[in-house]
Each structure stands twice: as C-alpha cells, then as structure tokens.
Amino acid sequence: MHNKGQPASLELLGSPAVLGVAESLCGPNFVPTYESMVFKQEGDGEKIAWHQDAVHLREWWIFNYDVYLDASRSGAGELRVIPGTQKQPQGICALAEVHGWDPPGVVKVEMEPGDVLLHDVMVVHGSPPVEGKALRRTIYYEFRAAEQILAEGPWDRDWVDRRLRLVPPALSRYEAAYPDADRFATSPTSSDRNHRAMKRWSSKSRTQRIPWARSAAPAASP
C-alpha cells in the first residue's frame, strides 16, 4: 500500500495514535506486519464470510488497527463480530451452517468516517450480503511483537528487519505533514538499536529470544 505514489499511508502509520497503540498492545518491539486498503464499491453487496484472520498460540497480542474512511451502518453490510471467539480456533463452516448471520452474542458494529476499530486477529467476524450497499473504504494495519514472529513464524528475522525499516520513514512523513503535532517517542530499545540488535541475533541460534526484548514476560492475550 505504501508504493502507490501517495504519502498518506506512511503518514498514518507514523502517527502516535497508531504506533502508541501498537506499543501498548505488542510491547516496544512491535512490527507492522501488514497494511492494506479494502474497497467495497457502491452497489457491491457481496458478503465477506465469517472468518478468523489468523490462528496462533496466543502468547502475544496480534491485532488489526482498522481506520474507517466511510460510514458502516447496521443493515447495510455492517461488520459483525462474535466476542469471545478469539480464545481458540473456531469451526467456521459449522457456525455459519447452524446460525447463519445471527449466532448467539453477535455484535453489529457501526462506524463513522474517521472511527478506528481494534480487533484481535482470531475474533470471528464478517459482513452479510446486502442490496445497494454504499461505498466503504477501510485501511488496515496489522501489528505483532517481533518476539512472536521469531518464536512462531511464519517469517524469519530478515523479514522482521525489513519490516522495521518502514517505521523511520513513516515517522518522518508524519512529522513533515504535521510539524506542530505530537509525535511518537521511540523507546531506547527501538529504531536503530533494534536494527543493530537484530543483526547480533542473526548470528546466534534461531530458537533463542531476541536480545532487545524486555525481560518481562509477554502478557498473555485473553
């Protein structure tokens, strides 16, 4: 998404409103693992089936930061989520067959332009089909702890290193666009120090923890 000739996606990634949340949930060694923009064109009422974005061991948080550029209304193909389903892998096909779009506990999520939604990648979510749905655009950033990636995959340390290189230009883009705004303060364990530490780690065992991880154990996600 960052190579489309426009700086907006990097500016947003460099915002303290984004990176501050990433640090609070993933710790100081957060990694921006994905970014995408989903278009639901006007009149395109196709469903997005129930799904979990990813399944993992749940020793660390993995979450998406969703920025809504357009409204999402109940009855107009709104996002639906099933709270509590993030705790374990779910039988999606059986759930859909038995309950359709209205399983017990389902929540219909309404959003306004500019609203932000944080969602656990394992929570079951989707949106039903609808006639005459309005345009809806949503920007997604996924974040994970570097420790989680190196312990569980699916990527290696070189991939983590490359992804971390997005953060300095994102910070620079944000600062250039909003010179008087608050900025994200990188911790002593981040930025260039992270890069050097990753290089030191690369010469050691693939199974050990990265040396720049804080000594505290990662908080287990619910």
Note down the domain range covering 82. Answer: 8-201
SS3 content of the chain, % helix, strand, coil (to 5): 30, 25, 50
Taking the C-alpha atoms of residue 108 and residue 104, their distance in angstroms, rounded to an integer, is: 12
Is 122 part of any domain?
yes
Give Cα 8 to chain centroid, integer Å: 17
Is 210 part of any domain?
no
Give Cα 164 to chain centroid, integer Å: 15
Structure-token pair, residue 130:
């609808």
Is 82 part of any domain?
yes
- pLDDT tens digits along 113-155: 999 999 999 999 999 987 767 888 899 999 999 999 999 999 9
Is 3 part of any domain?
no
Quote the pLDDT of residue 5.
Answer: 75
The full DSSP string for 99-114 is HTT--TT-EEEPB-TT
- pLDDT tens digits along 17-68: 999 999 999 999 999 999 999 887 777 778 899 999 999 999 999 999 999 9
Is 33 part of any domain?
yes
Taking the C-alpha atoms of residue 222 and residue 42, their distance in angstroms, rounded to an integer, is: 37
Give Cα 193 to chain centroid, integer Å: 24
Total Cβ atoms within 10 A of residue 3: 6
CATH number at residue 48: 2.60.120.620
Is 146 part of any domain?
yes
Does residue 181 contact residue 160 with C-beta atoms inside 8 Å? no
Is 1 part of any domain?
no
77 closest CA partner among 124, 45, 103: 45
Total domain count for the chain?
A: 1
Quote the pLDDT of residue 108.
Answer: 96
Structure-token pair, residue 157:
């340390």
Is 44 part of any domain?
yes
